[in-house]
Amino acid sequence: MKEETIGSSGFHPQLLVIPSQQQQCQYNSAAAVLLLGVLGTCAQTEMKRVVGDNATLPCHHQFWVGDDPTLDIEWLLLKPTNRQRVVITFFAGRVFDPNEVERSRVAFAGEYLKGDASLVISDLSLIDSGEYSCKVKTGAQYHWSTISLIVLVKPSKPRCWMEGKLLEGGDVKMSCKSADGSDPLHYKWERVMDKGKYGGKLPSMALVDLKNPEIVTLKNLTKESTGVYKCTASNDVGEDSCTVEVKLHCEWKP
């Protein structure tokens, strides 16, 4: 995708003083500041979405196309390399998307000429994560807003397994692991109660590995230890689970 800088679609950086990322959030989201004849606003937020989903990044302005046909809109993506690239622009009465490959994935979400310049990105991938900036200009007035998009992967269905001897008085270690999913991944074991209900407390002799909560050891097995146990793997965008069944085996003695 072609790298661009601010001003590539008709913006004039000499008129616009853009604060740093840390300074931008110091503005009150409802306030407007007048600086060198330039009207600007800041409303920085964060959005988390799942790979494959769609995301609508909000951007609203009060500049209407009427007597003044000089409305320019520009969405920029700031990547971790601190290089800015143009995502989509409206300039000189036309919409431009500099990347033909992504043209079907990005578009203005609303009536951008009437105040809704929000950006929609479909079929999200991990490379879409980053800081997005919306800049709207008409005459000497500017509006800008930023939003951080974080694209995450749901936990894959975890695998549950047991190690140890399922004998009365013995110990068994239950483990659970998702092969995929964005960090941080959280694991929780619980007992399945009667009629398939979850949320039961673990037996008193159950030891949870605090450093690795996906591992639980059932000590000194008894009949009260038997049953179905469920492990849930979760992160900010989803969860999935697996189960194991603990059954006591009779030790054969010759």
Closest to 180 in 3D by CA, of 52, 42, 67: 52
**Two structure tokens written together for 83:** 């290089």
Domain chopping of the chain, boundaries: 21-152, 159-246
Neighbours of 233 (CB within 10 A): 26
CATH of domain 159-246: 2.60.40.10
What is the 3-state composition of the chain as percent helix, strand, coil, each rounded to the nearest 5? Answer: 5, 40, 50
Question: Domain 21-152 in CATH: superfamily?
Answer: Immunoglobulins (2.60.40.10)
Element (H, E) at 32: none
Could you tell me the strand order of the sheet in which 215-218 lies?
A: 159-164, 172-177, 215-218, 206-208
Q: Establish whether domains 21-152 and 159-246 are of one fold.
A: yes
Can you tell me which residue has the tokens 């600007």? 40
Q: For residue 36, how far is the Cα from the chain centroid?
A: 37
Residue showing tokens 């033909």: 100
The DSSP line for 74-131 is EEEEE-TTS-EEEEEEEETTEEE-S-STTTTTEEE-S-GGGTB--EEE-S--GGG-EE
| pLDDT one digit per residue (tens) for the chain, 254 residues | 433 333 444 443 333 333 444 344 443 333 333 333 344 555 558 999 999 999 999 999 887 665 456 789 999 998 766 788 899 999 888 898 877 666 689 999 989 888 899 999 999 999 999 999 999 988 778 888 999 999 999 999 999 999 998 998 899 999 999 999 999 999 999 999 776 565 678 988 899 999 999 999 999 999 889 999 999 999 999 999 999 999 988 766 55
> pTM for the whole thing?
0.67
Q: Pick from 5, 67, 40, 37: which is nearest to 136 by CA? A: 40
Residue 11 in 3-state DSSP? Answer: coil
- Report residue 223: phi and psi, to 5°: -60, -30
Which pairs from 36-40 meet CB under 8 Å and 24+ separation?
37/140, 38/140, 38/141, 38/142, 39/141, 39/142, 39/143, 40/16, 40/142, 40/143, 40/144
Instruction: Give the number of other Cβ atoms within 10 Å of residue 183's Cβ.
Output: 9
